[in-house]
Structure 1
Amino acid sequence: MNLKMKLLTFTALLPCVHGLSIPDRQDGSPRVLGLPLHRSQIRDPVTHDRNRMRKRDGTVNATIDNLQTLYFLNASLGTPPQNVRLHIDTGSSDLWVNTRSSQLCSMRKRPCAESLVYTANSSSTYKYVSSNFNISYVDGSGAAGDYVTDTISFSGVKLSSLQFGVGYESTSEQNVLGIGYPSNEVQVVRSGLKPYDNLPAKMAADGLIASSAYSLWLNDLDSSTGEVLFGGVDRDRFRGSLISLPIQKVGNGYSEFFITMTGLDVGSKNVGKNMALAVLLDSGSSLTYLPDSMVESIYGMVEASYDPSQGAAFVKCSVQQTIASMTFNFSSPASVTVPMNEMLINVSDTEGEQLIFGNGEPACLFGILPAGKSSSVLGDTFLRSAYVVYDTENNEISLANTIFNATTSNQVEINSKSTAPFATKASNPITATSGLPGGINSKGNTQQPGNAASSLAPSLTLLFVCMMARALI
């Protein structure tokens, strides 16, 4: 079957932040900072994620997404304040911004106008740190410039002397707020220098929050709101037990949010039983990426059409009527059940008409793709159904099934020396035996999905090339 299509638009999560919730701290109330997130559109999650995967090939360990991330907040840098829009990325660790004088931002079509820019010399509180800021991809794209310190303000909160990068040379119009491990900062990975306090660490050091840990609640695919809560856990955002799992070391230390996945159930059928696969929790990835052999089995179960040359998979939207959910299993008793409708992304042509197969059956983009030689990634098609606590101080990830469209809130402070509130540690956590960068089977299974996945796939080359060309003009 062929897909009848014009120019595709993909609906995914690109929330914007309109304000920062700061609870009063009288009478021992919790030190937490809550960011409301809002949903918008991203044109091409497949190409976006493919660019993210490039940075995990080879020997460069920094996981910086400076092409298109999925959450942003409005902030101001410097004195007087310069407004910027910062895309939040759990897969990276540096805040960096574009500057007006860069070749990219000086282009006639003003590609940086939406995210705005920062001019260091216009700020009286700016201080130069070094010229060690240099984010690069295997394909040569990235950003380079200076590390500086300056003030940052958002919704009444002001921090002084926050270190961040300024991209005097850049190939991305998006400013990025990385909130991962400080050990994954560019100056650490590329220059061998000591880490500095990035935003979560700085907020904790200045006493705004009790811990640099934070929790992420994306809500469902049809919702327009979500939340990232710095320094706390919201009991009214998840159901069942919150289970804490150890983050897996990369080499001799902790630098990325890898945990061990032990299996996957598609409806009543099991895929990858008793495995010990390292998977990366990455809110900057729109889709989920698993070993190719697993994906081949999944595609057979859901009757997906897959184009290996483009990395795009399509299924009948009606698959949710026959397979209700998928359950991702981790060290017992941790598991997250993803409703099948959360794995299906509606696609339409430029006139807003539903994309269909040749037989008239409505088509949806499927939210799982083969990882190929890259690490396995649990992106937003998984994370929307999970409530996740990222704890860099105790090197733990706490997981529970989310409560979609929750209307109440019960925020509790995370203590830096203990497991997240309401959480129970997995009694016998399993250590990953495959999937870690540089480790056993780190490059994954490169087998291509078989006929069940690829025989019905459309060719999307021209469409994606056109879309990317327009984005870069």
Structure 2
Amino acid sequence: MGSVTSSLIYLLATLSLAHADASYGPHPQPEPRSIRRAQDGKGPLGGRAVANVVNASGEGGEGKVLWYPLKQEALNETVVRRRRRLVKEVVSEGSLGKRQSRWTWKHMDDFRGYLYTMEVEVGDPPQAVRLTPDTGSWETWVNPKCESAASVPLCEMNGFYQPANSKLATTNNEPFAFGYGSGFATGMYYVDRIYFRDEDVGITQKFGVALDSGYAVSGILGLGYGSAYNINYNNIVDSLVSHSIINGPIYSVALAPIGAGTSEIVFGGVNLARYSGYLKPVPVWPPVDEQPENWVHFWVNLTSVTITAPSGKLLPIYAAGRNTKPINALVDTGVTYSYLPPAVVDALAVAFGAYREVNEWKVDCAVRDMAGTVNFGFGDDLVVHVPYSDFFLWLQDNTCTLGAQKREEEDDSMLGDTFLRGAYVVYDQMTNNLWMADYKDCGSQVAEVGRTPGDPGKCQGLDDAA
């Protein structure tokens, strides 16, 4: 499939396609733990867990929904950011001489910025670890090697899982290898319980336990298309459905403005107080059955880019038309910047007076405080407006960068965190749509979705005054 400059970092998970079933034989049963979905309790980081749960029809009651906060951290040093590019490579020669291939991510650059993580507990007794939620990956793994991490202190803060200390852990010694340019993670697959802290909601899950890695400062929580598309076992989202914790493979993401608000994921629901109006569907394109086998992602067609200046003047940057095709872009929480065609980035750079320095487009930091927006259009009736303050990255050396960088390949466009901080996005594998609206923050009111296909479109967001 993430994204920080850091945001959801790096870990370019490739795939291993020869996975065994998630159950490796007789599996110890966990001791009973109460299953509750708090409505007014405290979440794992001290925030409200789930407030005022309703379903898409407006009926009240405790729904199948799991609200989870994300921790936003500024990185105080240069670390490594991952950028994605599709590469097909030969893995081995089969017994009949048939070449076996896999799809993988390649490349890596320097980056600085912000990291988003969520805390889960693994094993019994539970061991706390922080993982980077990544909509561009579908597999989960833990235990980066901190000695070779891009930021040793940050890596050490994210916890460590010891399979030997869990009475539920099982393995058949199946290896995994995730590659990402000059970085990597290798280890063994395990099955154990993963608990979502303070929710006491547990799932039996297959995941990787790294024995060696390079650059990564956290493991990842893969939220991309799973068992029906890319791998032959249930990933995290699949397991939440199969354990009846949520109704269907659907979740929403809100990345709060830098240094303000609470970033969150709502599995099986939407937060009505994080957007206004109605969510509008953006189809996954190409359709999932037309994407490369075992490499299905949340691609969408971007049809326009404009700027709303502080004066209110609208400045055109890019528009699809008769002679200009849409930009097919991956909407990825695991990428800090947004990667767009060179002509689009050049036009943005001219509009903002940006200058090139060490592979980054630098801008005057005063621009971040202005009341303008960078606007992303999808089709005829949806435009997401990203405030300057969320589109431009402020770095620790008191410089600022343009939130868009040039893609390296034609199929390498991505809408990362510099887009997502201005959007509310529902990742819907039931209808293969991304439902979007402008991000707002009016509090918290979580609604259950996933009972019927398309029900995110029935959820009206709260007005700003609500």
Give the alignment's TM-score, normalised by structure 1: 0.72
1:33-432 superposed matches below 5 A: 33-43=66-76, 48-49=80-81, 52-53=82-83, 56-57=86-87, 59=89, 61-62=103-104, 70-98=115-143, 104=147, 112-139=155-182, 141-153=183-195, 154-171=197-214, 172-182=216-226, 188=230, 194-249=231-286, 250-251=291-292, 255-267=296-308, 268-274=314-320, 275-307=325-357, 310-319=358-367, 324-349=372-397, 355=398, 363-373=399-409, 375-403=412-440, 405-407=441-443, 409-415=444-450, 417-422=452-457
Indicate the SS of the match to 2:453.
coil
- The gaps in structure 1 that reach 5 residues or longer are 1-9, 189-193, 350-354, 356-362, 425-473
Number of residue pairs aligned between Structure 1 and Structure 2:
384
* CA pair 44-90 structure 1, distance change in 2 beyond 3 A: farther
Give the alignment's TM-score, normalised by structure 2: 0.73
Indicate the SS of the match to 1:85.
strand
* CA pair 406-110 structure 1, distance change in 2 beyond 3 A: closer
Per the TM alignment, residue 136 of structure 1 is displaced from its structure 2 partner at its CA by 1.0
Report the identity percentage: 26
* CA pair 112-276 structure 1, distance change in 2 beyond 3 A: closer
The equivalent residue for 1:457 is: none
Task: Say whether the 8 Å CA contact 1:12–1:221 is kept in structure 2.
Answer: no
CA distance in 1, matches of 2:284, 2:219: 28
**Residue identity matched to 1:248:** W
Indicate the SS of the match to 2:348.
helix
* CA pair 71-321 structure 1, distance change in 2 beyond 3 A: closer
The equivalent residue for 2:30 is: none
Decide which structure has greater helix share.
1
Task: Say whether the 8 Å CA contact 1:17–1:37 is kept in structure 2.
Answer: no
Per the TM alignment, residue 225 of structure 1 is displaced from its structure 2 partner at its CA by 1.7
**Residue identity matched to 2:136:** G
The equivalent residue for 1:455 is: none
* CA pair 206-23 structure 1, distance change in 2 beyond 3 A: farther
Task: Say whether the 8 Å CA contact 2:71–2:118 is kept in structure 1.
Answer: no
Per the TM alignment, residue 48 of structure 1 is displaced from its structure 2 partner at its CA by 3.3
* CA pair 173-385 structure 1, distance change in 2 beyond 3 A: closer
CA distance in 2, matches of 1:376, 1:11: 16
Indicate the SS of the match to 2:49.
coil
**Residue identity matched to 1:336:** V
Task: Say whether the 8 Å CA contact 1:93–1:179 is kept in structure 2.
Answer: yes
Per the TM alignment, residue 61 of structure 1 is displaced from its structure 2 partner at its CA by 3.4
Indicate the SS of the match to 2:279.
strand
- The gaps in structure 2 that reach 5 residues or longer are 10-42, 55-59, 90-101, 309-313, 460-466
CA distance in 2, matches of 1:21, 1:232: 13
68-77 vs 125-134, greater mean Cα deviation: 68-77
Indicate the SS of the match to 1:128.
coil
* CA pair 338-368 structure 1, distance change in 2 beyond 3 A: same
The equivalent residue for 1:21 is: 49
